[in-house]
Amino acid sequence: MNLRLKHISLPLASFALEVDTEVREPATVLFGPSGAGKTSLLELLAGLRQPASALIQLDGHTLTDTSKGVFVPSRQRRIGYVPQDLALFPHLSVRGNLLYGRHHRQGDNPLVTFERVTDALEIKPLLRRGVRDLSGGEKRRVALARALLASPRLLLLDEPLSNLDSKLKSKVLSYLALIRDEFRLPMIYVTHDHFEAMALARHVIVLLRGRIVQTGPPLEVFNRPAAAALSALEEVETVQPARVIAVTGNLTTVAVGQTRLISAAEPAPAIGSEVFVCVRAEDVVLAKSPNPVLRESSARNRVSGVIRGITPHGPMMRIDLDCGFPLAALLTKQACEELALAADDAVLALIKAPHVRLIPRSGT
């Protein structure tokens, strides 16, 4: 995919969307807080809004060029768009929604057939039902299938997992990964959730108040955020590559370098698979030395480490550890004083298994 976004300018309520970039990765996440301009940018790509100025080209085809008066209507752009509200037609059945706008063109993706799409997204049993009778997860799968069957050259997804619980999010994420990998369909995915971005992206574009402030691979972007404003989002301070080495019951053991961690991730990934280990700093408990209380702790992970840095982090203190891999913890100032923590101290980090999140690693 080669998507050129040049001289983009669109006045919004409190700022202007100003973008100038090229997108070449087929799985790109547009990341940023609510109100950053992410949805507005998708609407420009889909042809649902008119910019003040823009040059938008997809694989050499000009979709918008305000300097030459070119504006291809949205129905002719062959861009699939799944908005936040899904925009399913309530008066049509699931089958009717899927067939609406379906295109048959010479040279379409041979993988995208009605049979294959409905099989892959597991919606064949739903075809005769009305959309009002569907669950939230079922509606999202139908909206994804309808966008696929429109034979798009590019798929735009605007926070498709919003308002879903964690279990349902994991299931729908697996369908999105299937679209990315098996249907080989380029996608731009909007989210403000680190875990969704890590699960799907091979490239991340960070948007704040209408401007791109950082781009790069997800591990680089989230481990080294360039904008302090990203701290307003749910932070995941530790993101490290790992490999699954064992699965026992509902517990998964992963190797992070020479260190072993146990996760209660669901569904459990396959042994040998490559994942990202994600741990929020507030979920890490520190102790100076083993004691009877620690022996009775329910935390499955007890990792030895050395303090490499202690820095203020808002009302808290951030403790950066070397545990064979970098690990961050957040403690109150009072806790730091009571433990008398200092640089080069040896400590024990305790992490409960449910707080060790595992995200499948995208191929390169």
What pLDDT is recorded for position 59? Answer: 95
Distance CA 53, CA 6 (A): 9
| Domain around 150 | 3-232
Q: Where are the alpha helices (DSSP H) in 158-209?
A: 166-181, 194-200
Distance CA 119, CA 114 (A): 8
Q: For the domain that residue 27 is a member of, what is the CATH number? A: 3.40.50.300
139 and 27 part of one domain = yes
* Domain end call among 232, 254, 286: 232
* pTM of this structure: 0.70
249 and 147 part of one domain = no
Sheet holding 238-248, edge to edge: 259-263, 251-256, 238-248, 274-279, 357-360
What pLDDT is recorded for position 267? Answer: 79
Total structural domains in the chain? 2
Nearest in space to 48 (alpha carbons), one of 84, 90, 77: 77
pLDDT digits (tens, 9 = 90+) for 323-364: 999 999 999 999 999 999 999 999 999 999 999 988 877 543
Task: Look up residue 81 and give its amino acid.
Answer: Y
Contact criterion met (CB below 8 Å) for 114 and 98: yes
Residues in the chain where the model's pLDDT stays below 50:
104, 106-107, 228, 231-232, 292, 363-364
192 and 287 part of one domain = no
What pLDDT is recorded for position 219? Answer: 77
12 and 47 part of one domain = yes
What pLDDT is recorded for position 169? Answer: 77
Q: For the domain that residue 325 is a member of, what is the CATH number? A: 2.40.50.100
Which tokens sit at 298? 């329910």
179 and 76 part of one domain = yes
19 and 146 part of one domain = yes
Ramachandran quadrant class, 145 (left: phi over 0; alpha: psi -120 to 50; beta: rest): alpha
Measured at the alpha carbon of residue 31, what is the angle toward residues 30 and 35, in degrees to the nearest 5? 105
32 and 171 part of one domain = yes
pLDDT digits (tens, 9 = 90+) for 43-74: 999 999 999 999 999 999 999 999 999 999 99
What pLDDT is recorded for position 252? Answer: 96
Burial of 92 (0-12, 13-18, 19+ CB in 10 A): middle
What pLDDT is recorded for position 364? Answer: 39
Crossing angle between the packed helical segments 136-149 and 166-181, to the nearest 10 degrees: 10
Q: Which residue has the tokens 């079922």?
A: 138
279 and 206 part of one domain = no
